[in-house]
Amino acid sequence: QVQLVQSGAEVKKPGASVKVSCKASGYTFTSYGISWVRQAPGQGLEWMGWISAYNGNTNYAQKLQGRVTMTTDTSTSTAYMELRSLRSDDTAVYYCARDLSMIVVVITTKGDAFDIWGQGTMVTVSS
Amino acid sequence: DIQMTQSPSSLSASVGDRVTITCRASQGISNYLAWYQQKPGKVPKLLIYAASTLQSGVPSRFSGSGSGTDFTLTISSLQPEDVATYYCQKYNSAWDLTFGGGTKVEIK
């Protein structure tokens, strides 16, 4: 079945970096984009950015520009999200999520809804 | 940036009630709007996309409407398993896929 499986929980100190993985299965990885969404404890959903698994193009939320990097490894059908210079307010559950629609137009100005989500990865930033 | 405002932030209704949640965009987004359901401790689930298209497998008591700036999610007959927080999300721009603040639905 189509699924995204994320790496395990992380505990990091302020100023450190974290890299979360998201392994896809059950579909052609390069045919879809992947977004990353985070949710601080008791809070709502925050979109962090998107990567095309077809060609590696990325769009990042303005708030996180310069601190976040999203990559893919097509040989293992895995997407990665690295967040640097961690602060306490980065403590959250981090989700990867697949675009609803296959990539048809390589360069698009539109986003997409998310139909498949990973199970989430808790990242705790604490001294 | 376009802001997404949901109302109410929470509601309590009886089983069988009709429930309506509103999502308002600060600028027009055509029909590039999705609705998600997140049950406590669970992963978000896509309910509706393109403002009114029901995702496969979602019960027909859920429906969406609207275009431009004003959107609604309706649960025609609230069930106990519908207790959750509901989020709208815009996706008209590939650089800004903002979520609304969420609406928590409880059973009275």
> Does A54 touch chain B if contact means CB atoms closer than 8 Å?
no
What are the 10-residue block averages of pLDDT along chain A, 127 residues in total? 98 98 98 98 98 95 97 98 98 98 83 97 98
B99 CB neighbours in chain A (<8 A) are 37, 44-47
Q: Which of B50, B94, B100 faces A109 most closely, judged by CB atoms? A: B94
Q: Residue A95: closest CA among chain B residues belongs to which residue?
A: B43
The span from the CA of B105 to the CA of B75, in Å, is: 11
Vertex A106 angle, CA A39 and A72, to 5°: 50
Q: pLDDT grade, residue B54 (50/70/90)?
A: very high
Q: Residue A120: closest CA among chain B residues belongs to which residue?
A: B43
β-pair type (A58-60, A46-52): antiparallel
Q: Which of A46, A108, A120 faces B94 most closely, judged by CB atoms? A: A108
Vertex A10 angle, CA A7 and A11, to 5°: 175
The span from the CA of A77 to the CA of A71, in Å, is: 11
